[in-house]
Structure 1
């Protein structure tokens, strides 16, 4: 997801530190205390402009949601919306997914969402895909034993690659959907990309996987 550079992004995020955790490593093992709630913690990696995570937070008020986004110029859009809507069960971190084990303790997360991740189509960039083995190792570390990964994409090749990656890692596929909108799942919250691609008739793929 590309966005124009916003020189004011750093200052804006600092001014909204009730929503943006500027030093997320300091909360490792204590994220429930931060939310002041014992509710499950759901993590979206690559939260973009935040439409998905805001929708999930509204639909599931008894869960807490953390949105991770590396690009500050994109993250500010998500934060702005949450400020306007005064959502209290959402917070954001501006970090790279490679640092997950520095930010979260073992078994601290209940659910991970990977929505429309960068496909990194060239084989030489496979290690950057969020469903590559090294990332799966991080997810397994921070997820509870019964925690799920829910993965959505419009990219057929990335979806196929990810199904193989999950399986080779020894994960169990709980669900594989080749046309999510044909399924008409009433609980599905669409991302900005999802709305854009589905409007063009592009099938949306989804799978749910667990570690065994």
Structure 2
């Protein structure tokens, strides 16, 4: 579903000190921004922020960054962050194509891909956030043995991602073709929608080997 354009989304987010646009000026400085040496977990494609805010509430000793390119969606996340008064979460308006210009090597300890666009057409597969093209980008910003967690409602995307990870010499720690809500714990707006339709949720937990 296409979100209606919100003309005040960008001005509103620019008033929130927890939201960054572009982020390239912060490369290598994210721990300084958070004011501590805690690990930083990155969610790519945070949408309206349900997953991001809930996991940040539950894990105060971890720093979280939510990256999103869609300002219409992310303004909702910005409001949730502000209302929750969380100090361990930041928002980043940017594209995953720019990750290596935003983060220094070993700045990120974990990556979440929640219901990324599956790009079903073969000519678009390189746009998938689980594709080797992006795995190489992640490898340049993560700590050794960093974890990547993926959730999707799309079986083809799930199976393709498994192969991408295996071909990239990642260790598959866990895979699940019908992840229970109890085990899922932190649920995004998309996951809630798919669960309400009784659709299976596919899950992969994999580890990089640098």
TM-score normalised over the length of structure 1: 0.95
- SS of residue in 1 equivalent to 2:193: helix
Question: Which residue of structure 1 aligns with residue 130 of structure 2?
Answer: 131
- SS of residue in 2 equivalent to 1:201: coil
- The alignment's C-alpha RMSD in Å is 1.2
Question: Which residue of structure 2 aligns with residue 20 of structure 1?
Answer: 19
Question: Which residue of structure 2 aligns with residue 198 of structure 1?
Answer: 195
| In 2, Cα distance between equivalents of 1:201 and 1:75 | 26
Equivalences for residues 161-176 of structure 1 within 5 A:
161-176=160-175
| In 1, Cα distance between equivalents of 2:177 and 2:58 | 24
Structure 1: tracts of 5 or more residues without a match: none
Equivalences for residues 21-36 of structure 1 within 5 A:
21-36=20-35
Count of aligned residue pairs for this structure pair: 209
| Structure-2 change in CA distance of 1:23 and 1:125 (3 Å) | closer
TM-score normalised over the length of structure 2: 0.96
Equivalences for residues 39-50 of structure 1 within 5 A:
39-50=38-49
Which 4+ runs in 1 deviate beyond 4 A?
none
CA shift digits 1:92-135 (9 cap, x unpaired): 11100000000000111010000000011111111111011110
- SS of residue in 2 equivalent to 1:180: coil
Distance apart, 1:13 and its partner CA: 1.4
- SS of residue in 2 equivalent to 1:21: strand
Question: Which residue of structure 1 aligns with residue 10 of structure 2?
Answer: 10
| In 2, Cα distance between equivalents of 1:71 and 1:85 | 21
| In 1, Cα distance between equivalents of 2:5 and 2:118 | 22
CA shift digits 1:60-114 (9 cap, x unpaired): 0100100000011111010011111211111111100000000000111010000
| In 2, Cα distance between equivalents of 1:114 and 1:80 | 22
Distance apart, 1:196 and its partner CA: 1.0
Question: Which residue of structure 2 aligns with residue 108 of structure 1?
Answer: 107
Distance apart, 1:179 and its partner CA: 1.0
